[in-house]
Amino acid sequence: MSVAQFASTDVVKATPETPIREAARILREKNIGLLVLVDSRDPSKVVGVVSERDLVRAVAEGIDFSRPVWDIATKTVITIEAEEPLSKAASLMRQHNIRHLVVTKDGKLYGVLSIKDIVYEDNALRVIAGYDEWTFERGMSA
């Protein structure tokens, strides 16, 4: 199973100039945990992300919410290519202690994969765990 099979391609984007307050409003309205920041001249080019964790940190630090979201953004974005195996995505999430991965195709923005996309899907959990249908149903390791 590839990452593309589970990634959401309806990506919610903003530019680095977006005010922090607006970014928080977007996350709340869309009921999502990650806002992808893109280059204003090339919306397929990811320049950063803002997660719920970034916003919590901003609140704790007393940052002015009218400042640009770029001031609190994560600029080192962990990405995965759409055709990579789902197990690699899970490994990256675990390794970097993150809940979202930006998914690319040929180096351009393709989608976002959330931990929720994985854990709510039985087949995805089986693949990540390395179980096949027979062993998973019997509670045995592969």
Beta carbons of 73 and 15 less than 8 angstroms apart = no
Full strand arrangement of the beta sheet holding 34-39: 13-14, 34-39, 42-51
Cα separation, 12 vs 38, in Å, equals 10
Which CATH code of 3.10.580.10, 3.40.50.300, 3.40.605.10, 1.10.1030.10 fits the domain covering 3-138?
Answer: 3.10.580.10
Burial of 140 (0-12, 13-18, 19+ CB in 10 A): exposed
Task: Tell me the DSSP string of 104-116.
Answer: EETTEEEEEEEHH
Residue 111's CB: how many other CB atoms inside 10 A?
20
pTM reported for the whole predicted model = 0.82
Per-residue pLDDT of the chain (142 residues; tens, 9 = 90+): 889 999 999 999 999 999 999 999 999 999 999 999 999 999 999 999 999 999 999 999 999 999 999 999 999 999 999 999 988 998 899 999 999 999 999 989 999 999 888 776 655 556 555 654 444 444 544 4
Q: What residue spans define the domains of the chain?
A: 3-138
Supply 129's token pair: 């765990």
